[in-house]
Amino acid sequence: MTEISASAIAINAPTKRWHLGILSAFVLVCLWGLVFLSLVEKRQQVIGDIYYFSTADTALTVEQAALVDEKTWQSIGSDNSLGMSDDAYWFRFSVPDVIRQDSKEKLLEIDYPMLDHLEIYLVNQSENSFDIIARHQLGDLQVFSQRPIDHAVFLVPLTDVERISHIYARIETAGTVRFPPSIWLANDYIAYTTQHASIMTLFFGFMVAMAICNLFFFITTRSMTFLVYTGYVVTLGLSLAALHGFAFQYLWPNNLYLQGRAIAILASLTLCFAVVFSNQTLDVVRYSKTIEKFLKFLAGMFFVFSLVSWVAPYAIMIKLLMLMLIIAVLSILACGIWLSARGSEVARYYTLAWSFLLLSAFSATLDNLNIVELPVSSHYILIFGASVETLLLGLILAMRYSQQRDSLTAAQAIALEQEQAATKAKDELIKVQQESQDELEYKVQERTLELDLALRELSEANRELEQLSAMDPLTGIPNRRHFDKRLLAESRRSRREQTSLAIAMLDIDHFKQVNDQYGHISGDQCLQQVAKILTDALKRPTDEVCRFGGEEFAFILPNTDVLGATQLLENIRLTVEASEIETDEHTFKVTLSAGVTATTMRREGEELQLLEFADSLLYEAKKNGRNCVINRAFSDKQQDY
């Protein structure tokens, strides 16, 4: 009882410290987020009302847009978001006199870097005239270096501002249509950009640090959860960098194809890693295999979606992505809440961590779909949610790993005790086995003598069986199986000793006619007599003739060149031609055709090519009228290649 209480205290103390650390980090990150959002809210727009209209006529010029009836122009309001549409949108606002009268250098900012095509017209417009002072063509489907000012968002210098009365803008994009313009004094914008860049640098530096740390944890622990979390942090950081224009500015400024699809690809991969990480960290399989399979299916869908996003139209994919994002939000939150209700401590903090990112993503989705109006840009909401969620998830992952390590230590202690008990039982078993072994040794020796005798008898039977299996039962000479083994052995000897090996393929001419005219029994007797003639013709013990199949025979002639093998086969052909085949009922003559070749083996497997070449020479002998021997060195075949 004392040991159990001590273990409980040892486990609960680190757990309480983890809880305190998570809550402290949560408070600090929330305070940082409030400071960040308050900084964003300090930016002031110094322009008046903005008017817009949409048209399916994508060829409409700015002069024609200026002549559109005033009733067609509508006020955009404070949201600056018009949802998604394939139409072209025209925007117009007037430059206040207080700005025109100030001669200081000014900039026009369009703080939404995800517009595909953006044209800005600086116009001097009156009742009788319409002069275009400057025209700028921007958009994230245009090479970054062509922008008038290198910046993540769209910036246009307002030169001769005193002449500019109105500013027109034309937008055509596959995503959400937003037009949040601001006119800045150049010095003020530099100060704002410096402050903004510092915050974004801290955020992305934090994401990089989290990714590197967890990658190192994966390398040292080999835990796939750390690798999945690293992938999640990397893809999440890249997604936010793409949303804010930093990825296009620094990572792929000339890759318009990737820029046009980066959000759909990266966001899909982020959701894929998020679902896999949720499945692993929450250990869902312990509670429900059905939900675990559903999460795997959802992760697979996101992965396939990321692949399809490389080729599918962005306008379709981004809408589907927002729908899938809502599904992911509801699924992960529901899973976390359900596991929290089941008593999972990790799931409670996990749900808290994910709530910030998922709810911020959900809010951003509703904002992009123009369902709700948010006082802060959806991009900054995602930054805030990602900061809170990434830090808390990192702490939860460390807590999870610590708990697993403690569980592993306890399991190892139990395993050690079990191993000691098993060792003791093993010693007792060895003692019993030793006693049994002494008793069995005598019986084993007795059985061994009987077994040796049986093995010798079996070995002799096997040798006889092997000899029988290597012989052709009809002709009494070796069969094809023996030929293959002998050919392999002699080819290796030829290659090892660099001696010539000759192969001859021989065939009885018109043997089918013998069977048809005299019967198959006479044909079998013919094969037997021809086989005896072939065997008697061999004088060296190393030479061998085998029945290759049907009426075909094959010769293996080690240490023999082409001329020697040809002379032997020619003598055999003449002997058979002069001999009479005597069967029980008939007497007749047959002739032979043969193909002969030889070579010195140089590489493994060349014997099959040699045999094939000899067979082709036999076929050539048949074509030349039969009853002849065709010979050719194997090197002639190689020259043909």
Q: Which two tokens stand for residue 103?
A: 């001669």
* Range list of H helices, 498-561: 511-518, 520-537
Q: Catalytic: 70?
A: no
Bridge-based pairing of strands 552-558 and 166-172 is unpaired
The answer to whether 396 and 349 are in contact (CB under 8 A) is yes
Torsional class of 550: left (φ above 0), alpha (ψ -120 to 50), beta (otherwise): left
Bridge-based pairing of strands 106-110 and 176-178 is unpaired
**Residues 514, 550: Cα–Cα separation, whole Å:** 13
**Residues 296, 290: Cα–Cα separation, whole Å:** 10
**Residues 43, 361: Cα–Cα separation, whole Å:** 23
Closest CA to 505 of 593, 576, 622, 606: 593
Q: What is the CA radius of gyration of the chain?
A: 45
Rounded to whole angstroms, what are the CA distances from 482 to 488, 529, 580?
Answer: 10, 21, 29
> Could you give the dihedral angle defined by the CA atoms of residues 395, 397, 402 and 404, in that order, rounded to the nearest 10 degrees?
160
Q: How far is CA 359 from the centre of its chain?
A: 31
**Residues 536, 303: Cα–Cα separation, whole Å:** 75
* Range list of H helices, 170-313: 186-221, 224-243, 246-250, 256-259, 262-281, 289-308
The answer to whether 160 and 123 are in contact (CB under 8 A) is no
Q: How far is CA 378 from the centre of its chain?
A: 33
In the beta sheet, which residues pair with residue 478?
Answer: 471
- DSSP per residue over 351-408, as a string? HHHHHHHHHHHHHHHHHHTTSS--SS-HHHHHHHHHHHHHHHHHHHHHHHHHHHHHHH
**Residues 7, 390: Cα–Cα separation, whole Å:** 32
Q: Which two tokens stand for residue 293?
A: 């399979």
Active-site residue, selected from the candidate residues 551, 580, 585, 604: 551
**Residues 430, 420: Cα–Cα separation, whole Å:** 15
Closest CA to 173 of 47, 259, 62, 92: 259
Q: How far is CA 609 from the centre of its chain?
A: 41
Bridge-based pairing of strands 587-588 and 581-582 is antiparallel
Closest CA to 555 of 623, 505, 616: 505
Which residues, in sequence order, are CB contacts of 533 under 8 Å at separation 6+?
A: 572, 575, 576, 579
SS3 87: coil
First to last CA, the chain: 87
**Residues 484, 368: Cα–Cα separation, whole Å:** 76
Question: Which residues are marked as active site?
Answer: 551
